[in-house]
Amino acid sequence: MKEFLATIWKPVLGVFVGAVLIGFLTTRSLSPKEPLKSSLESATPRVVVKLLPSGPDPKKVAVAVGDLVEFASRDGLLHDLREGEPDAANHAAEPAPGTYHSGVFAPDEAYRVRFDRVGEFVFHDHLHTNIVIQVSVHERTN
């Protein structure tokens, strides 16, 4: 029995350590604090809207279909941007299906949107009523 245990303990230990390392690396790379990079995260935005204590800067932007707009927290606060006017109907607990919604994002983080259709879009911050942004999206011209 001693000889049997002496011959298998190293391979068993190696498999165990390998499984633990793979598990650690896999969960580490998918941690919410370290999200995987997407094409939106690596692309350069056409417009950056800064979310400041005094409100958004700029308050109105115009972009073409396919352009990327970044809404960047620069006031040290959490934000939750939602498409729609800041009224009772759009201030429901859950955003309407099919509308743009950032979810809550932290200070010094940003929400990015690549607009895929022409239109007039109003965003309001669910957490800060002084933040309302108008985005005008037009056809791309070459």
> Is pLDDT larger for residue 24 or for residue 91?
91
Q: What angle do CA 62, 67, 71 make, to 5 degrees?
A: 75
DSSP secondary structure code for residue 58 in this structure: S
pLDDT above 70 (res 1): no
For the chain, what is the radius of gyration of the CA atoms? 23
Model confidence over 38-57: pLDDT tens digits? 445 667 888 999 999 999 99
Q: Which of 114, 124, 3 is nearest to 63 (CA)?
A: 114
Q: Which of 87, 121, 126, 119 is nearest to 103 (CA)?
A: 126
pLDDT above 50 (res 119): yes
- How much is the pLDDT for 30? 31
- How much is the pLDDT for 43? 77
Residues of the chain with pLDDT > 90: what percent? 49
Torsion of CA 17, 18, 20, 24, to 10 degrees: 130
pLDDT above 90 (res 84): no
Separation of alpha carbons 110 and 56, rounded Å: 13
Domain edges within the chain: 1-36, 39-138
Model confidence over 11-39: pLDDT tens digits? 654 554 444 334 433 333 332 333 333 44
The CATH H-level (homologous superfamily) assignment of domain 39-138 is: Cupredoxins -  blue copper proteins (2.60.40.420)
Residues of the chain with pLDDT > 70: what percent? 66
DSSP secondary structure code for residue 54 in this structure: T
